[in-house]
Amino acid sequence: MSTPLRIVIAKPGLDGHDRGAKVVARALRDAGHEVIYTGLRRTPEQIVRIVLDEDAGFLGLSSLSGAHAHLFPRTCELLVEAGLGNVVVFGGGIIPAPDHHELYSAGVRAIFGPGTTSSEISGFLEQANHRLGQDELVGCGGDSDWHWTGE
């Protein structure tokens, strides 16, 4: 058995909608990964602490409250400050397309909206993990300009 990926699924900010985050956590569990779910209403600082202590390589941020444009980049920034720029960050929830570009520039490597299949998220994780294996810096602080476009 290969070593499972450790993935934190987090709910930043004042947003009580966790159905999506739980479904994703469950799907990633079924794909053979170890998923740490943070619970609701965590601050970016707390999320960074969790990623650090859990030694997670991946972080999924879920937001349906419209605060993603602040919370996602802030989390990426704090990760880099904490020396965790190699952590791969992806996002999901209700995130309008016009906002995507800015999030990608902040270091988010994929954004998944309603209707995303679990196999697509797995595909992204595999692809990101593969790139990491090739020493491509796809973490939130990495200089790669790659982001998931679906395929």
Partner 1 sequence: MNISPAETLAAAVRGERLALARSLTLYENGELGGEEISALAQPASEFPVIGITGAPGVGKSCLIDHIVQAWSSAGHHVAVIAVDPTSPITGGALLGDRLRMSTADSADNVYFRSIATRRHGGSVPTVVKGMLAILRAAGWNRCIVETVGAGQGDIRVAAVAERIVLLEAPGRGDGVQAEKAGLVELADLIVVNKADLDGAEKTADEIRQALEVATIPTPTIILTSAITGEGIDEMLDSIESLEFNPHTASARTRECLRAMWEQKLLDHPDFDDLLVEVVAGNLSVEAALEKLTEIDEG
Binding site for partner 1 (CB under 8 A): 1, 3-4, 6, 25-26, 28-40, 42, 45-46, 49-50, 52-55, 82-84
Q: Scanning the structure block, which residue is given the tokens 């969790």? A: 50
Which of 26, 100 has the CB closer to partner 1? Answer: 26
Contact status, residue 41 vs residue 92, Cβ threshold 8 Å: no
Contact status, residue 86 vs residue 142, Cβ threshold 8 Å: yes
Q: How far is the CB of 86 from partner 1 (least distance, A)?
A: 9
Q: How far is the CB of 35 from partner 1 (least distance, A)?
A: 5
- HEC assignment per residue over 30-58: HCCCEEEECCCCECHHHHHHHHHHHCCCE
Which of 92, 103 has the CB closer to partner 1? Answer: 92
Q: How far is the CB of 39 from partner 1 (least distance, A)?
A: 3
CA 94 to chain centre: 14
User: Length of the chain, please?
Assistant: 151
Which of 5, 95 has the CB closer to partner 1? Answer: 5
Q: How far is the CB of 53 from partner 1 (least distance, A)?
A: 6
